[in-house]
Amino acid sequence: MIATKIIGRGVLAAAVLALSSATLVPSPAPQAAQTIAVNDTAVLEQRLPRKLSDFGFFQNGVQQVPAANVVPYRLNIPLYSDGAEKLRFMYLPAGLQAIGGGEGLLELPVGAALIKTFAFGEGDDRQLIETRVLLRRADGWLALPYKWNDEQTDARLAIAGARVDLTTPAGEDISYRVPNKNQCKECHGVDGEVVPIGPKARNLSADWLEDLAGAGKLNAVPDGHDQLPLWENRETADVTATARGYLDVNCAHCHRPGATASNSGLDLRWEQDDPHALGVNKRPVAAGRGSGGHLFDIVPGDADSSIMTFRMRSDEAGVAMPELGKTTIDQDGADIVTRWIEEMQ
C-alpha cells in the first residue's frame, strides 16, 4: 500500500522526495505514471466545490494515493471517531511553506489544505465513508464535509451532513454521523474563526517535521514539537502526559476560551496548568443530566465520582462527551483518563 495510516519515515521520505522532485510516490498503481496536480482554483476560490475530485488532492481516490504536493501525516494522539481509520494529508502549494509557531498549530499559507478521510473495514473490505477538507483561503479557513458514494468513485459535498449505517472495528453496528458544515465549525471555531485542530507541533513526530523542513516545506522544526506520547504506547507511557494529550486532542477544541464550550469554564488544553480550569473540584455550570448526579468534573482519586469520565462513558445524546464527531464510547480514551484521575492526589 502506498498511503496507509501509519506513515513511517521511509514512506514519508518518499512522499517528500516526490514533492521535491515533482515525481510521484513509487507505486504499483497504474496511476503513478500520471501526474495529477491539485486544482488551486477549487482550493482558493470556488465557493462550494460539489465533488471531492474537483480538488484533485488524490491521484487515486479509493486508494488514497495523494497527488503532488499532498503529504500524508499522522498525529501522535488522534481524535477518536468511532474507531475509523483516518488518512490525513496536508497540501502545500509548490513554492509555499508552513511556518512553525512553537508547540501549537503550524501556520499554513493561503492556498494550503488539510484533508482527512474516514474509512472503516480492512483490506479489500475497506470503505471510505467521508473526507473532510479544510481550505486555507484568503479570508480564512473553510471546512467542508464530503461523503463517498457506494461505488467509491468520488465523494460529494454533504453540506447538511449525513448518516451512514456501518459496523465499527469493535463490532458495534452504528448510525455513523457525517457532520454538517456548521458542525465542522463547532469544533474548528475559535473566536468566531475557523481554525485547524490537528497539526500542532507538539502532536507531530520529529521525523515528519524534519523531513518537511528538509524538503523546504516548513521554515524550521518548531520548539516544543513531538511532546505527546504515541497513542499506541499509552499502556506504558506517562499517564499524565497521555491523558492530558488525549484531552487536548479530543476535548480542548471546544473546552477552551473562545470556543464552543467556553461558557463551561472548563479549559482542557495541553498548556493549561490550573487544576481547577482542568476540572479538578470544579462544579458543572450547564451540565444538566450530564452531571450524572456527580458534583465535580474531576474528583481526584475517584473517577467513578467524576463527571468527566461519566460523560466519556455515555453514548446518550445530551449526556455523552464529546457531543459531536462520535457515536460510540472510546473505551481506551475513557480508560486512560480514568487512570489519570485515579492516580491523582
Partner 1 sequence: MMSKLNMACLVSSIALLAAQPAYAEVITVEAGEGEQERLQEALILAEPGDEVVLGEGVFTLTDGLSLDVDGVTVRGAGMDKTILDFSEQQDAGEGLLVTSDNVTLRDFGVENTRGDGIKSKGADDIVYYNLRVEWTGGPLETNGAYAVYPVESSNVLIDSVVVRGASDAGIYVGQSKNIIVRNSVAEYNVAGIEIENSREARVTGNYVSHNTGGILVFDLPNLPVMGGGDVLVDHNIVINNDVPNFAPAGNIVAGVPMGSGIMVMANENVSLEHNVVDGNATAAVIVVAYTQSYEDDRYNPFPRNVFVSNSNQFGHNGYAPDLPGGGMLAVAVGGAIPTIMWDGLGENAVVTNGGVAALSLGYTKQGQGPESAAPDIVTDTLPVAAAATGATIPMQHSAEMEARARP
Q: Which residues bind partner 1 (CB under 8 A)?
A: 46-48, 50, 159-163, 175, 177, 180-183, 185-186, 189, 192, 257, 260, 262-263, 265, 276, 282-296, 307, 316-318, 323-324, 327
Angle in degrees, 0-180, between the axes of helices 239-250 and 331-343, rounded to the nearest 10: 130
Q: Smallest distance from the beta carbon of 325 to partner 1, in angstroms?
A: 9
Nearer to partner 1, 96 or 159 (CB): 159
Q: Smallest distance from the beta carbon of 177 to partner 1, in angstroms?
A: 6
Spatial separation of the C-alpha atoms in residues 213 and 111, rounded to whole Å: 19
Q: Smallest distance from the beta carbon of 59 to partner 1, in angstroms?
A: 24
Nearer to partner 1, 96 or 324 (CB): 324
Nearer to partner 1, 125 or 191 (CB): 191
Nearer to partner 1, 127 or 327 (CB): 327
The answer, yes or no, to whether the previous bond of 275 is cis (omega within 30 of 0) is no
Q: How far is CA 133 from CA 147, 166, 241, 260, in A?
A: 11, 22, 29, 20
Q: Smallest distance from the beta carbon of 142 to partner 1, in angstroms?
A: 12
Nearer to partner 1, 88 or 326 (CB): 326
H or E segment to which residue 157 belongs: strand 155-157
- How far from the centroid of its chain's Cα atoms is residue 321's Cα? 16
Q: Smallest distance from the beta carbon of 96 to partner 1, in angstroms?
A: 25
Spatial separation of the C-alpha atoms in residues 138 and 149, rounded to whole Å: 31
What single-letter DSSP state applies at residue 107?
B
Backbone angles phi, psi at 338, to 5 degrees: -60, -45
Nearer to partner 1, 204 or 321 (CB): 321
**Grid coordinates of 308:** 468527566
Q: 280: helix, coil or strand?
A: strand
Q: Smallest distance from the beta carbon of 257 to partner 1, in angstroms?
A: 7
